């Protein structure tokens, strides 16, 4: 991947700089639940549809989606939030751990319910949303405990994001203290605001309201450019902010800066499928952009590009660093969409499953790709909605198959697999990492050829342990790659012994 990205202002942005950043996300962490089903009839009890449940999925929501975006962009994250003493809190902690994020900053408050939003989806349409939550402000003891936690983390942070959904995890005294501590430490502090009183957000680096949130804060409708410009300057000046970024949906974003300037950044032209989570993407990219390069306009333009990507996705989904690099890359520098690092796949799988899709996983060497491989992959893909192929690295193949293997290097094998219609995503890994890969990705189905006994399938216990399936794909006529190599070598030897055999190797041939 080309990490150096040409920017329109003549600047080179190295997105790999994000890997050196650690961001604290403080706010309202939620569990998004989806109940997927099909609608077949109207209930005889009331004029409502009956949804026959097919499957249920869960994912991180609220401040948790900011964490999703940070991790997807290659950064590290710490969390600070408030949950209840319930099973949903355990699920949130488990999901954060799967992302490689320590959930120690999720404090428990007796009597509080962990925010849970349950969406019932019938025939791809949301039928109803059920909210279970406690919205009362956190007790004063939480503020004291939270600040003690933050003080222990501050020396290792480069930015703080306050993701305020008004559920009580960010009472004003805590907000003020977090902004003060962060700015005193020289950190970037980005706020995704809520409510009509923005005074607790004073002196933050940047606040990112959308149009409706800004209207609530200033008390008048933002129907035209004059009102928008007036509101932006008023909010930034009254709060003593470094910058204010007003997001305007299809109209783009309007950045207001400390020097009194303002600039409208047009939205990226593309089809919009779902705006869910776009605000989370904006604050994550703004925090990383400011922490990495210190320029609010560069960070805002990058956030605008990122938001343009996520609104083109169905459901709440983060922006991946490879996607952002592809959007910024010039002609001829675009990267294959299907080839993903394992760290990116773990987020992709969670997003796909949250959309109700069944993820299939298989792994192997796939050296000298042949018709047997293709049939196996096509049959594997039919087991679900998305097929991920994990490819053994060159070192792993040599360890298992011996000297002289693989015949084709991993980069070529990756591209060959990515070219197949049956394959949705492909990654490369070392074979000893398979248990960790399966535990992290948690695919719905693991496939292997029927020439392997079911009990001998590596990873079977891991997959069945979390409720997944192992499916053996029928292999009627196994093809041996070692046998193919032997045949090729024998044919080459015979050709060399035959009259004019040098020509087979491309030596001594003249003319056409």
What residues are annotated to the active site?
A: 280
| Whether the Cβ atoms of residue 380 and residue 422 lie closer than 8 Å to each other | yes
Cα–Cα distance measured from residue 363 to residue 365, given in angstroms and rounded to the nearest whole number = 7
| 243-247 β-sheet, strand order | 106-108, 76-83, 22-27, 159-163, 188-192, 206-207, 243-247, 253-257, 262-265
399 Cβ neighbours under 8 A, 6+ residues apart: 431
Q: Where are the alpha helices (DSSP H) in 311-459?
A: 321-328, 342-354, 371-381, 394-401, 410-418, 434-441
Cα–Cα distance measured from residue 445 to residue 464, given in angstroms and rounded to the nearest whole number = 9
| Whether the Cβ atoms of residue 147 and residue 177 lie closer than 8 Å to each other | yes
Supply the Cα-derived Rg of the chain in whole angstroms: 27
| Whether the Cβ atoms of residue 475 and residue 362 lie closer than 8 Å to each other | no
381: tokens are 């893909």
Bond before 406 cis per omega within 30 degrees:
yes
Look at the chain and count its residues. Answer: 512
3-state SS, residue 470: strand
Distances 244 to 207, 257, 307, 445 between C-alpha atoms, Å: 5, 7, 17, 46
Cα angle, residue 269 at apex, residues 4 and 216 outer, rounded to 5°: 100
101 Cβ neighbours under 8 A, 6+ residues apart: 67, 71, 76, 77, 78, 79
Ranges of beta strands (E only) in 407-500 are: 425-429, 445-449, 469-473
Q: Among 165, 204, 124, which Cα is nearest to 27's?
A: 165
3-state SS, residue 418: helix
200: tokens are 């607790």
CA 309 to chain centre: 12
Distances 448 to 195, 252, 424, 457, 471 between C-alpha atoms, Å: 53, 47, 17, 7, 7
Cα–Cα distance measured from residue 306 to residue 297, given in angstroms and rounded to the nearest whole number = 14
Cα–Cα distance measured from residue 398 to residue 434, given in angstroms and rounded to the nearest whole number = 16
Dmax of the chain from CA atoms? Answer: 92
Cα–Cα distance measured from residue 481 to residue 248, given in angstroms and rounded to the nearest whole number = 56
409: tokens are 């290097």
């Amino acid at each position: 991947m080309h990490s150096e990205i040409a920017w329109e202002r003549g600047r080179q942005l190295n997105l790999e700089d994000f890997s050196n950043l650690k961001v604290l996300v403080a706010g309202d962490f939620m569990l998004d639940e989806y109940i997927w089903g099909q609608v077949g009839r109207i209930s005889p009890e009331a004029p409502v549809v009956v949804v026959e449940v097919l499957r249920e999925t869960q994912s991180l929501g609220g401040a948790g989606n900011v964490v999703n975006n940070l991790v997807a962009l290659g950064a590290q994250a710490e969390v600070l939030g408030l949950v209840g003493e319930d099973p949903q809190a355990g699920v949130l902690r488990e999901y954060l751990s799967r992302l490689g994020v320590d959930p120690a900053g999720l404090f428990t408050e007796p009597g509080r319910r962990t925010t849970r939003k349950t969406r019932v989806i019938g025939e791809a349409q949301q039928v109803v949303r059920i909210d279970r939550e406690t919205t009362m402000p956190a007790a004063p003891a939480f503020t004291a405990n939270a600040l003690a936690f933050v003080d222990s983390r501050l020396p290792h942070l480069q930015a703080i994001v306050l993701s305020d959904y008004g559920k009580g995890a960010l009472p004003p005294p805590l907000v003020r203290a977090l902004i003060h501590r962060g700015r005193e430490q020289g950190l970037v502090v980005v706020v995704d605001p809520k409510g009509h009183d923005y005074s607790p957000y004073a002196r933050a680096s940047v606040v990112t309201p959308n149009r409706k949130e800004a209207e609530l804060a200033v008390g008048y409708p933002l129907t035209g450019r004059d009102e928008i410009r007036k509101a932006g300057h008023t909010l930034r000046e009254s709060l003593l902010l470094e910058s204010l970024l007003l997001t305007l949906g299809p109209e783009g974003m309007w950045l207001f800066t400390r020097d009194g300037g303002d600039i409208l950044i047009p939205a990226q032209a593309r089809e919009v499928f779902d705006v869910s989570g776009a605000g989370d993407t904006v604050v994550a990219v703004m925090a990383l952009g400011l922490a990495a390069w210190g320029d609010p306009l560069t960070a805002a333009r990058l956030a605008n590009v990122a938001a343009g990507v996520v609104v083109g996705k169905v459901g709440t989904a983060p922006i991946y660093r490879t996607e952002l690099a592809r959007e910024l890359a010039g002609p001829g520098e675009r990267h294959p969409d299907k080839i993903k690092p394992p760290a990116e796949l773990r987020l992709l799988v969670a997003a796909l499953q949250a959309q109700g899709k069944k993820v299939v996983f298989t792994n192997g060497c796939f050296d000298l790709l042949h018709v047997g491989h293709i049939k196996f992959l096509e049959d594997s893909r039919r087991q679900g909605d998305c097929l991920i192929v994990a490819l053994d690295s060159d070192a792993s193949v040599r360890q298992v198959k011996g000297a002289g293997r693989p015949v084709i290097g991993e980069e070529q094998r990756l591209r060959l697999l990515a070219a197949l219609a049956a394959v949705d995503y492909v990654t490369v890994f070392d074979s000893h990492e398979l248990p960790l890969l399966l535990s992290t990705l948690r695919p719905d189905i693991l496939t292997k050829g029927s020439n392997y006994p079911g009990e001998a399938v590596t990873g079977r216990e891991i997959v069945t342990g979390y409720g997944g399936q192992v499916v053996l794909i029928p292999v009627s006529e196994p093809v041996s790659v070692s046998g193919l190599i032997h045949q090729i070598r024998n044919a080459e030897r015979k050709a060399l012994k035959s009259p004019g055999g040098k020509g087979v190797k491309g030596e001594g041939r003249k003319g056409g």
